[in-house]
Amino acid sequence: MEKDAKIYIAGHRGMVGSAIHRNLIQKGYSNFILRTSSELDLRNQQQVSNFFEEEKPDYVFLAAAKVGGIHANNTYRAEFLHDNLCIQNNVIHSSFINGVNKLLFLGSSCIYPKLAPQPLKEEYLLTGKLEPTNEPYAIAKIAGIKLCEAYRDQYGCNFISAMPTNLYGKNDNYHPENSHVLPALIRRFHEAKIHQKEQVVIWGTGTPLREFLNADDMADACVFLMTHYDGKEFVNIGSGIDISIRDLAELIKTTIGYTGNISFDSSKPDGTPRKLMDVSKLTELGWQYKIDLKQGVRAAYKDFLGN
């Protein structure tokens, strides 16, 4: 990827997109095409078509998506399927029409079957039933992977896909209901500390195991793949290390300095029992994560307080 190449980052103000932007700037790239969602609605086919025809980007990072935690995924099922299909269909097709040199599509670890063997290898895709609570989002992301593969097979497009594990970090969404588990817990424990609540109630049993990766590590992996990987098969991005929700809650509680109790509401869904990525493919390519979870949670809490 040439230093003067014209780079479009779809979703540049989100957690992942902004991290990719920062990483590229640090590496000496400066020719960016950036649009907010109010300036360019990626769900609108005509707007996206006009944008690509006018700007003609050389490289595309497709980090725009409708995202959220288990509550949001299960509540807004139609929007999570429809909006994500529209976004990726429009961007990928317009990238083909306008001769983009290379595109990186970002999916999610929820593409894997609910009861797939652990750790999750890339070849486990479509080998079993999905987790019901986030099935619409997962189906959209699977469609994105297959769309990139189809344009590669039929037209020779250099469109690659990467599947990140659970992400957190700067510019995360801390919405009390619609955010992912780690930022949601940061907000919940912070508010409990401020209001001196006796306990924090967490959905589920606390036993599910989850893997977390800092968004800045994720961005570094994306830029690495864009410059070093041209394969058809998608690549997992993660740390290769997981933690129970209970232990994560204890870590965040300690980081924030909350002194009350933690209780678990087992009447609420746990989601997938375990989601640990097999990152051997990415490791063999030459990339590994750098930011450990304790360090990352401290930085994330600092970012939360700053916002």
136 is a domain residue = yes
For the record, the structure tokens of 291 come out as 């930011």
Write the pLDDT tens digit of every residue in 266-300: 998 887 788 899 999 999 999 999 999 999 999 99
pLDDT at 72 over 80: no
111 is a domain residue = yes
34 is a domain residue = yes
Write the pLDDT tens digit of every residue in 139-183: 999 999 999 999 999 999 999 999 999 999 998 888 777 678 899
195 is a domain residue = no
Give the per-residue pLDDT at 29. 97
Which residues sit in the known binding site for substrate?
188, 203, 210, 270
Kindly state the average pLDDT of the residues 192-210. 94
Give the per-residue pLDDT at 79. 93
Give the model's confidence band at 41: pLDDT under 50 very low, under 70 low, under 90 confident, else very high: very high
Which residues sit in the known binding site for NADP(+)?
11-17, 106-109, 141, 164-167, 180
Give the per-residue pLDDT at 76. 81
Give the per-residue pLDDT at 67. 81
Give the per-residue pLDDT at 178. 67
Q: Rounded to the nearest 10 degrees, how much is the dihedral formed by the CA atoms of 82, 85, 91, 95?
A: -150
Burial of 155 (C-beta count, 10 Å sphere; 0-12/13-18/19+): exposed
**Range of the structural domain that residue 215 is part of:** 7-171+211-241+275-291
**Which residues are identified as catalytic?**
137
Give the per-residue pLDDT at 138. 94
254 is a domain residue = no
Residue type, 287: W
188 is a domain residue = no
Q: How many independent structural domains does the chain possess?
A: 1
Which residues sit in the known binding site?
11-17, 106-109, 141, 164-167, 180, 188, 203, 210, 270
Q: What is the pTM of this model?
A: 0.91
Q: Which residues make Cβ contacts (< 8 Å) with residue 280, sequence separation at least 6?
A: none
299 is a domain residue = no
192 is a domain residue = no
In this structure, what CATH number is given to the domain that contains residue 14? Answer: 3.40.50.720
Q: Which residues make Cβ contacts (< 8 Å) with residue 287, sequence separation at least 6?
A: 220, 221, 224, 225
Give the per-residue pLDDT at 257. 96
